[in-house]
Amino acid sequence: MKPNIIVFPGSNCDRDIHVAIKKTTGQNSKMIWHKETTLDNPNLIILPGGFSHGDYLRSGSIASRAPIMKEVIKKAINGTPVLGICNGFQILTECELLPGILMRNKNMNFICKYTFLISKYENNWIKKNYINKVISMPVAHHDGNYYANKDVIEKLNKDNRIAYQYCSDIGTISEENNINGSINNIAGIFNDKGNVLGMMPHPERAIDVSLGGEDGINFFKTFFEKLG
Amino acid sequence: MKVQVHTTLKEGVLDPQGKAVEAALNNLGFSGINRIRQGKLFDIDLDTDSKEEAEKLTIEICKVLLANMVIEDYSVKVIQDN
């Protein structure tokens, strides 16, 4: 089994995540073109960052209807882990594997910088000793403003499905540290089964100090360790 | 048959783009603009002469792709061809 990285026209983090997984876990990923109709025995499906189809219509909307997505959705429903980063998160909401939607950033700016993040719960991607610990990963997006109706937000909270929240360097979650206007500072969420994770920050860009940080190393290591 | 689809943000959903346009017009000196909400307009040419068929197909197109029902509403207008 190996990670399958789905490549859409306009994906631009597909190589990065391939390199990040190889460097942090030694696993070789398989790249799968969006027009394919079968996956290659995935232990993890990755929808990478980028600007699929030029962000036309709505970010991720056209990619979410690509031929390969039928298989991705089927596998996700059957429990295969799926990770969507940035544009991948947008694709996951557009195909309704995750609730809500990523709207235009509240301040209308394209935000490209390192952000502080905090996780409150243990799960497949986050070890116990990383709960409530501030980490740092870069974001690079125009449409990262997470929106969902009240009922959805309540459910996400109640079921511990908020994976990451934007915060200050000491872990304060406030409007001041809300970079893009997301409800509850949401930077990443899980589906109800916990096997699908969508997040705006880029762990694959945080695996080397020369790139600004290495909190992404633990992110990938944790997941593959737990996968066994 | 020609149809038009108009998608708009649901009431209560923040519209940063509409707000930015609104602010720009205020800066340009236009007064009396209470609110601007930005939407999208699609002109669609369908290969059918039946108004009912055109409507049915367009609604399906809206649900499947043109509108995201989490934040958007859509309206369909059939424009008779000739």
pLDDT at A127 over 90: no
Buried b (16+ CB within 10 A) or exposed e, A21-42: beebbebebebbebebeebeeb
Report yes or no: A14 and A5 within 8 Å, Cβ to Cβ.
Answer: yes
CB-nearest partner of A106 from B13, B16, B66: B16
**Residue A187: both structure tokens together:** 């930077």
Show me where the domains of chain B are located: 2-79
Nearest-angstrom CA–CA distance, A227 and A216 = 17
Radius of gyration of chain B measured on its C-alpha atoms: 16
Tell me, yes or no, if A148 comes closer than 8 A to chain B by beta carbon: yes
**B18-57, pLDDT tens digit by residue?**
999 999 999 999 999 999 999 999 999 999 999 999 999 9
Contacts of A23 (CB under 8 A, 6+ apart): A207
- Quick one: which of A205, A215, A216 has its CA closest to A15? A205
Nearest-angstrom CA–CA distance, A115 and A79 = 30
pLDDT at A181 over 80: yes
- Quick one: which of A216, A25, A209 has its CA closest to A126? A216
pLDDT of residue B82: 52
Tell me, yes or no, if B5 comes closer than 8 A to chain A by beta carbon: no
Tell me, yes or no, if A147 comes closer than 8 A to chain B by beta carbon: yes
- Active-site choice (A18, A34, A53, A202): A202
Which DSSP state fits B64?
I
Q: Can you give the pTM of this predicted structure? A: 0.94
Q: Do A149 and B70 touch (CB under 8 A)?
A: yes
**A96-111, pLDDT tens digit by residue?**
999 999 999 998 899 9
- Active-site choice (A34, A53, A86, A94): A86
- Quick one: which of A7, A43, A48 has its CA closest to A25? A43
ipTM of the complex as predicted = 0.86
Tell me, yes or no, if A107 comes closer than 8 A to chain B by beta carbon: yes
Please identify, in words, the CATH class of the domain defined by B2-79: alpha beta
pLDDT at A215 over 60: yes
Q: Do B13 and A103 touch (CB under 8 A)?
A: yes
Q: Do A105 and B16 touch (CB under 8 A)?
A: yes
Contacts of A129 (CB under 8 A, 6+ apart): none
Which domains are seen in chain A, by residue range? 2-227 (3.40.50.880)
Q: Where are the beta strands (DSSP E) in A52-205?
A: 82-85, 101-103, 111-118, 135-141, 145-147, 162-167, 186-190, 196-199
Q: Is A34 a catalytic residue?
A: no
Average of per-residue pLDDT values in chain B:
93
Q: Do B16 and A103 touch (CB under 8 A)?
A: yes
**Residue A51: both structure tokens together:** 């600007």
Search chain A and give the residue with CA nearest B17.
A108
**B1-15, pLDDT tens digit by residue?**
999 999 999 998 988
Q: Do B65 and A65 touch (CB under 8 A)?
A: yes
